[in-house]
Amino acid sequence: MTQVSLPQAGSGVGDSGPYTADDWAKFFEVAFTGDQAATQGVLRNYLNELEVTRSGITISIDTGAGFCYGHWLLNDTSVDITANACAGVETRWDRVVLVQNETAVAYNTNLLLPAAYAGGVPRNSCRVAILRGTCGSPGALPALLTGPNIYMVELARYQMTGGSTGAITDYRDFCNFSTEVGSDWVENRTRQFFVSALIGQELIGDNIPMDGLSAYPPSIEFPDTDHSAAYGLGLIPSDYLSDLTIRTVVIAPSNGNVYSYLGVYIGGCDDSVTDKTFNSGWVAEGVVAPATYNCITETSTPFTHDGGEFLRLLYQRNPAAAQDTANCDIEVLGWLVSYTADS
């Protein structure tokens, strides 16, 4: 059959029903994700859009709804999943996913799930889960399954180092509704810009400005001997709406954790320079691989901003702390800033 239409009145006449689950799934897949079913699925502006956050080793998937290859999922209560540890300082990558199970039994291969679904994703069901990577393979992402019986759509990813989770990286791709207007409007709402590291200082030892020599210019070298800091200055874009997320970009010659801190100061003319501040706290972030752009020490600021306000950033590293296991100088390039635009 080269053409089909639904729904139609009647039964067994023309294109009328009964219709199968596959018929409806194909309809929703085409209508809401077009040819992007492998990546798209989250419905924008419904509840909390299945946003993924962390607290310690607890990964939380917030409320929301979406499609996994045409199968609709509603999540009206935040779901918490425990990310189990690797041995020692081994690392791995995990992906937070929607999982559609079309097999005859519960599915649990390489998945971490909440206690309510300890036995796996039920048959003929879609659920949120963590797709667990392999400890000791720091650069390898676990492969998403795309059928014929198990389908996955990614929401986020993070790195596990020993018993610590790294920053959450958002990989939600929102439904485009397969229309020209909808596709352009949604795709253009997520924006990014970069703030360069402007100046660095060694806070211990010589306590003088750094010499500026760097293996990866233009960047600022943080020695493995001194507590160091770098600063940056930017501007909140005029089309800013919400969801300001900031990640520090560093390069290192070896693997290991970097014990670091990110502070954010935002304000406009006549505001105090200490107003609207947020910081990540001191955290041990894993460096993924040598000579790699590592986006670490993420902070999502929890207050309202206005376009045109000043954005002042401070990044620090304390190599003397036991949590800092990189045992090498690192290069700080600056900060990758992402946000949702108002148009």
Helix (H), strand (E) at residue 97: strand 91-101
- Over range 162-170, report the average pLDDT: 88
**Between 86 and 212, whose confidence is greater?**
86
What is residue 14's DSSP assignment? Answer: T
Single pTM value for the model: 0.56
**Between 235 and 243, whose confidence is greater?**
235
Per the structure, the complete domain to which residue 199 belongs is given by 190-341
- Over range 277-289, report the average pLDDT: 78
CATH code, domain carrying 292: 2.60.120
| Pure H helices in 58-154 | none
pLDDT score for 182:
42
Cα separation, 167 vs 98, in Å, equals 20
The pLDDT confidence band at residue 253, using thresholds 50, 70 and 90, is confident
Mean pLDDT of the chain: 85
- Over range 330-337, report the average pLDDT: 92
Assess whether 146 and 195 both reside in one domain: no
The answer, yes or no, to whether residue 137 has pLDDT greater than 60, is yes
pLDDT digits (tens, 9 = 90+) for 195-239: 998 877 766 555 555 554 555 667 888 888 889 999 999 999 888
- The domain tally of the chain equals 2
Q: In this structure, is residue 11 part of a structural domain?
A: no
Token pair listed for 273: 């320079």
The answer, yes or no, to whether residue 154 has pLDDT greater than 60, is yes
Terminus-to-terminus CA distance in the chain, angstroms?
Answer: 41
The answer, yes or no, to whether residue 135 has pLDDT greater than 70, is yes
The pLDDT confidence band at residue 180, using thresholds 50, 70 and 90, is very low
Assess whether 79 and 224 both reside in one domain: no
Assess whether 183 and 203 both reside in one domain: no
Assess whether 157 and 34 both reside in one domain: yes
Burial of 177 (0-12, 13-18, 19+ CB in 10 A): middle
- Over range 123-149, report the average pLDDT: 91
Q: Which of 64, 175, 72, 84 is nearest to 133 (CA)?
A: 84
Assess whether 167 and 195 both reside in one domain: no
Select from 140, 172, 187 the last residue of a domain.
187
- Over range 75-88, report the average pLDDT: 93
Q: In this structure, is residue 136 part of a structural domain?
A: yes
Residue type, 331: E
Helix (H), strand (E) at residue 142: none
In this structure, the number of other CB atoms found within 10 A of the CB of residue 240 comes to 19
Assess whether 150 and 253 both reside in one domain: no
pLDDT digits (tens, 9 = 90+) for 26-62: 888 888 888 888 888 999 889 999 999 999 899 999 9
Assess whether 151 and 33 both reside in one domain: yes
Tell me the pairing of strands 125-131 and 169-170.
unpaired
Q: In this structure, is residue 109 part of a structural domain?
A: yes
